Amino acid sequence: MPRTFTARFDSDCQHCDGPISEGDEIAYIDDQIACEDCVAEAGDD
């Protein structure tokens, strides 16, 4: 599972184009910002 960190500002996921809100747990996957849902999917692999 990728190492997660807390988003400091609102943004968009670079994997699924979903929203990222300040305070969400996010990670970098393949050098792109990933939302909580994409991080969870990456952890399932």
Of the two residues 43 and 17, the one the predictor is more confident about is 17
30, 9, 20, 41: CA torsion to nearest 10: 40
pTM of this structure: 0.79
The answer on pLDDT for 1 being more than 90 is no
Indicate the domain borders of the chain.
4-44
On the CB side of 19, CA atoms within 13 Å amount to: 5
Q: What is the pLDDT of residues 2-39, one digit of tens each?
A: 889 999 999 999 999 999 999 999 999 989 999 999 99
Q: What is the structure's pLDDT at 18? A: 96
Token pair listed for 19: 């929203």
The answer on pLDDT for 45 being more than 70 is no
